[in-house]
Amino acid sequence: MEMNKETYEKLLRRFSQELFDVGVTDNMVELVKDKVTRTPNVAYAISEETAASFAYKHDGFEISAKQVIHLTVRKAK
């Protein structure tokens, strides 16, 4: 029986260009790989990183924005 770890690693390799295009870093991929290495049949692995953020306060008002990259590898239902 193939463990989820092998399938997750295949998906990460197969879609590496697409992951790069949306901003997934090598560090995020390594965190996911480390999680599935520790627990080979884990149902999911997640890594999240804030790529950019902006906040400004003036005269009692605030405006803010955040760009977050969220990587999830999981077994579909």
Beta bridge partners of 73: 45
Residues 20-48: pLDDT tens digits? 999 999 999 999 999 989 988 889 999 99
Residues 6+ away with beta carbon under 8 Å from 48: 28, 68, 69, 70, 71
Is 63 in contact with 55 (CB distance < 8 Å)? yes
Task: Tell whether pTM > 0.85.
Answer: no
Is 69 in contact with 49 (CB distance < 8 Å)? yes
Q: How far is CA 11 from the centre of its chain?
A: 13
| Per-residue pLDDT at 1 exceeds 80 | no
